[in-house]
Amino acid sequence: MKGALNFSFIILAIFFQSVSGISGKFAAITLSDATLFAIIANGFYIVSLACLFFQAIVWQQALIHYPLSFAYPFMSLVNFVILIPSALLFDEGITIANVVGLCLISIGITVLSREMGRSNVREDALS
């Protein structure tokens, strides 16, 4: 149970990073003027920064429990999370290259997580 709680820090880091990226895109397309005040006053930009703040906090918690070499490949899952909202919210296309790239990322994450799963990650996550 404690291992699942510790792994939730990685999941939350992925979530906050994804929401930050989506909010950043909304900020960019709703920005009427590129002045410093307009950027700072943009609600989407504020949400993006807040998500980055929370991502930094949960990421540090994840790194307390897992080696960086195990945890960081999971951040590539942000690409999966971003793909569908970018198509639905911003009318950006999903190409064959996107799908092939995500498949390659999936293979890499699987290989790395299995390799690290055989090492001391379980012991570290439980302590």
C-beta of residue 64 within 8 angstroms of C-beta of residue 121: no
Please list, residue by residue across 32-59, b when 16 or more beta carbons sit within 10 angstroms of its beta carbon and e when fewer do. eeeeeeeeeebebbebbeebbebbeebb
Q: Would you write out the chain's pLDDT as a tens digit for each of its 127 residues?
A: 677 889 999 999 999 999 999 999 999 999 888 888 888 889 999 999 999 999 999 999 999 999 888 888 889 889 989 999 999 999 999 999 999 999 998 898 888 777 665 665 555 555 4
Prediction pTM value? 0.81
Which pLDDT score is estimated for 13?
98
- Cβ neighbours, 10 Å, residue 3: 16
Which pLDDT score is estimated for 18?
97
